[in-house]
Amino acid sequence: MRVLKYAILGLLDHGSLSGYDMTSRFKAELGQFWSAKHSQIYPELKKLTDEGFIEYETVIQGSKLEKKMYSITEAGKRELHGWLTEFKPVPDTVKDEFMLKAYFISSMERDEAKRLFADQLQKREEKAVFLKNKLEELKREAGESITFRSPHFGHYLVLTRALERENGYCSWLEKALLLMENDRS
């Protein structure tokens, strides 16, 4: 399944964007749960155009610079809606390299493991602070209470989930470090 297809359709359902704008949105807004590289976005834009799900208008920016502004078509809106309302099973696995290392922790020395976990805790705490700041920024930008019909509601949901995920990860790391500290075997 081409999930990137639906990410792009969803972005365009909020308004017209250039390929550059989409790349920026992936980094700034979607990056907490989905990533796409510049090299993936442009071929997908071509496929979506060929399939009739999006269209573009070439606009002149400045005196000579041309850029394509993409927008979703009615067919694209139907395709997006079909995907949005489709029930899916929970994925079997989410790849987490750190969890794989944790699984094999007995192959390390205790001090090595404690350093590894402390480093991960620091990085996760920094990420949690970043997410908290992004959430506060979103609330200021919204300027109103964020409700279901607010254009910021989806971003709010994703940010609050990402913050919970990082806080939960930090809590687990703290408990693991305490277990390592108290275990004298």
Q: Indicate if 110 and 159 belong to the same structural domain.
A: yes
Nearest Cα to Cα of residue 48 among 30, 82, 72, 68: 72
Stretches where the chain sits below pLDDT 70 are 144
Distances 132 to 42, 59, 112, 145, 176 between C-alpha atoms, Å: 31, 37, 30, 17, 24
Q: Indicate if 75 and 142 belong to the same structural domain.
A: no
Q: Of 38, 55, 85, which residue sits at a domain end?
A: 85
Q: Indicate if 102 and 28 belong to the same structural domain.
A: no
Q: Indicate if 40 and 103 belong to the same structural domain.
A: no
Bridge partner residues of 69 (DSSP): 57
Q: What pLDDT does 153 receive?
A: 93
Nearest Cα to Cα of residue 19 among 52, 151, 48: 48
Q: Of 85, 106, 126, which residue sits at a domain end?
A: 85
Residue 91 lies in a domain: no
pTM of the model: 0.81
Q: What pLDDT does 142 receive?
A: 87
Cβ atoms of 21 and 70 within 8 Å: the answer is: no
d(CA 68, CA 55): 9
Q: Indicate if 117 and 70 belong to the same structural domain.
A: no
Q: Indicate if 17 and 71 belong to the same structural domain.
A: yes
Q: What pLDDT does 64 receive?
A: 77
Residue 92 lies in a domain: no
Residue 90 lies in a domain: no
Judged on CB neighbours under 10 Å (0-12, 13-18, 19+), 84 is exposed
Q: Indicate if 60 and 125 belong to the same structural domain.
A: no
Task: For residue 47, give the CATH number of its domain.
Answer: 1.10.10.10
How many folded domains does the chain comprise? 2
Distances 65 to 15, 38, 58, 62, 70 between C-alpha atoms, Å: 21, 19, 10, 6, 16
What residues make up the domain containing 143?
Answer: 97-182
Residue 169 lies in a domain: yes
Q: What pLDDT does 112 receive?
A: 96
Residue 103 lies in a domain: yes
